[in-house]
Structure 1
């Protein structure tokens, strides 16, 4: 049999199907076995003698299911087993399992509080068992909490947020928040144990990731709903996530710092234009914040990839108008803005440093904020070698803006 993953032409949801192995097999002639449900997306399938392992995404997180075979080799979709680990933000990914006859699989588990862990799961049942775990000296996961929140965008789309905080931080509307946004190229910002994130949480900072449309956390359709003419969906989602953090008490309304890198800074910068009162500060690394300046010059960037994501503004009027509407540099208002720290490099980045420079210059021309209280800063290095130092400097500046520089764990 040939196993196929394809999108249903009516619902656009993913389908696992099978067909007799032979030349010219097409999805239309295959027999559907399993349909993805709401909030699910199938990514890959791997076959073994007694079962198949399905890699999917559920609720914006990677997950793995085992589907046993019957005696005749057909799949028993009524006996599907999901690998359950128990953590609210556990990302479970299928690892290489080389033995065709094996009745168990190996998976990697990660989260904000879970060190990279290799687990085994058997077709015969029982709880997953730990095969190997990376030791993280000094880690006490009980000091923190990780949560999944859901914001609601203006078009009623539910947008997931991953959050980590120190366990004693109360959702009383007083905490500083570092909010990360991206939402481009179908990339997923899945939770991962990072010492720098725990260090921020130790200071009482709530760290949140907004999984806005344009990313891949909820499958291909999630990506498509945030690209080209739907680009503003990503901005709507980020603003909704910031609003939800305030409404649910996780964020102080005047202590949200937005962080983004590369093309993700287009989303954050546009959100700051849309609702500048929501953000206290913006930290942007090598930001694509003047997209028309770069996408209209084919020699500047990896434009084929960029045009696939955003459209070609030179040839497509809709793409031009969409990019102009969400361009951070094109839509700055004469009002108070968050403080801004943009850093870039003369070499080692696909995004020209002039992109950040134009944005910063236009912000300085138009915003009415007190520059001593809410400065607009540009940091340009010779290259991105030693870029980690620039990030540390930027985060230190952000903590100062959020009033978190002196907070103690």
Structure 2
């Protein structure tokens, strides 16, 4: 569940002792707990939707007893916390980007000092590059004096760094080696796109430095927008092949994800799910109107719930895309959510709603579920990839969708084919093993590059 939680603590020194229930489950109360010596650090949303950090005694307690020590500013979101003897590391989101902050204790201690608001000092950000994803790598030693983290971006290969809170010095421990790649050949920028309702949507774009926004470039836009999963920038070596061919890469951070906080997620779920789709279309239109991507040279890609996004935008704005790759796509959403006997359906009602009990939810889902809304028009070329043993999104969903597309679209089957590939021995994540993954990725990218005219 993403709306409620219940945490119990077990005493590692006395495994037969009954567990401590920190706080019983309450509707709408979501929290996590981090032991910090003789007290607890609790990240919770009892007072604000974007969470805060509080301290509490090691016993059962109520949110009213938790003392706040870090309250995020507007536009910030507390994600989690890891405590050590001399400091704690807070994982945050600020301005749509990931951030780490170090919160020192009042003095170097061994965890035996009294817990209180004055014990913890003001949190300060760990240095990081703009438009990058930074992730704390928890240490197993309570007495550690360093913060080890990983940082990467669309253009920066994954890099492991050690940061000393006492001196402020950072040391690169390791960087992913990428043969025949020079980061200085490429550029990236963050832009804000205005959605239909006036909301500003963040988008990250990357491109070869010699490209100009002259309306001639091919482009590839990615999106997800569900479950409060943030589509943060990451380095994928396969993207280098597209960048070298002059493809403009775009990552749309649409509502339904968690990029801008809990409200960003709430504005893209249940009866607001269509915001996810219209945000993505607005980003696609911006790529055309800004001159970064040529008309009929933009491809889109999304996986799982991102595949639902692909199916929805294909119906709503087929003219904006030359090709769409939908991987293990959740495109028969209404049919699946109407079947509570399936192992994952009931838990999904928090995200999509319960169309069995709510006529309003039923009609709303029916109005956007891809298989229910295919129109008679020319569609982008479509590649649907799935796996026979996928138990999250059954292969029958994309199979049904592809058949409906073939029946109703006016596509030339050669110029704009509608294709499906089914892996016969794989699950939701595709085949295991790096060689099989590389084979899958190279096939999908080759298909996209061919469709947008970027094979050279």
Deviation at 1:217, TM superposition (A): 2.6
- What's the counterpart of residue 82 of structure 1? 125
Q: Which of 1 and 2 has higher RCO (CA within 8 Å, sep 6+)?
A: 1
RMSD, aligned CA: 2.4
1:335 aligns with 2:372: no
- 1:27 has 2:77 as partner: no
- Please point out which of 148, 164, 168 is paired with 1:126: 168
The 3 A distance-change label for structure 1 pair 260 and 104 is same
Paired with 1:49 and 1:343, the residues of 2 have a C-alpha distance of 48
Distance in 1 (CA, whole Å) between partners of 2:242 and 2:416 is 22
Partner of 2:447 in structure 1? 397
Indicate which of 42, 57, 61 corresponds to 2:97. 61
Number of equivalenced pairs: 403
**Aligned runs of 1:2-401 on 2, under 5 Å?**
2-7=40-45, 9=47, 11-19=48-56, 21-71=57-107, 74-75=117-118, 79-85=122-128, 87-300=129-342, 302-384=344-426, 385=431, 386=436, 389-401=439-451
Indicate the larger mover: 311-320 or 394-403: 311-320
Q: Which runs of 5+ in 1 are unaligned?
A: none
Q: For 1:208 and 1:359, locate their aligned partners in 2 and report how far apart those are by CA, in whole Å.
A: 26
Q: Any idea what the Cα deviations from partners look like across 1:10-69, whole Å, max 9, x if unmatched?
A: x523222234x2533322233322221232111112223332221112233321111222
Post-superposition shift, 1:294? 2.3
What is the CA–CA distance in structure 2 between the aligned matches of 1:52 and 1:394, rounded to whole Å? 42
The separation in 1 between residues aligned to 2:373 and 2:144, in whole angstroms, is 58
Relative distance call for 1:293 and 1:35 in structure 2 (3 A) is: same
- Give me the whole-angstrom Cα distance separating, in 1, the residues matched to 2:215 and 2:118: 50
User: Alpha-carbon deviation of 1:343?
Assistant: 2.4
Are the counterparts in 1 of residues 329 and 384 from structure 2 also a CA contact under 8 Å?
A: yes
Structure 2 CA distance for aligned equivalents of residues 210 and 76 of structure 1: 41
Question: Can you give the 5+ residue segments of structure 2 that lack an aligned partner in the other structure?
Answer: 1-38, 108-112
Instruction: Tell me if the contact between 2:82 and 2:138 (Cα under 8 Å) persists in the aligned partners.
Output: no
Q: Does the CA contact (< 8 Å) of 1:83 and 1:128 recur in 2?
A: no
User: 2-side partners of 1:172 and 1:292: how far apart?
Assistant: 41
Provide closer, same or farther for how the CA distance between residues 195 and 134 of structure 1 changes in structure 2, counting only shifts above 3 A: closer
Give the secondary-structure state (helix, strand or coil) at the position aligned to 1:347.
Answer: coil
Q: With structure 1 as the length reference, what TM-score do the two structures score?
A: 0.90
> What is the alpha-carbon distance in structure 2 between the residues aligned to residue 129 and residue 22 of structure 1?
36
Q: Aligned equivalents of 1:279 and 1:222: distance in 2?
A: 25
Task: Give the C-alpha shift of residue 145 in structure 1.
Answer: 1.4
Deviation at residue 107 of structure 1 after TM alignment: 1.4
- In 2, Cα distance between equivalents of 1:396 and 1:208: 18
- 1:299: how far off? 4.2
Equivalent residues of 1:183, 1:264 under 8 A apart: yes
TM-score with structure 2 setting the length: 0.81
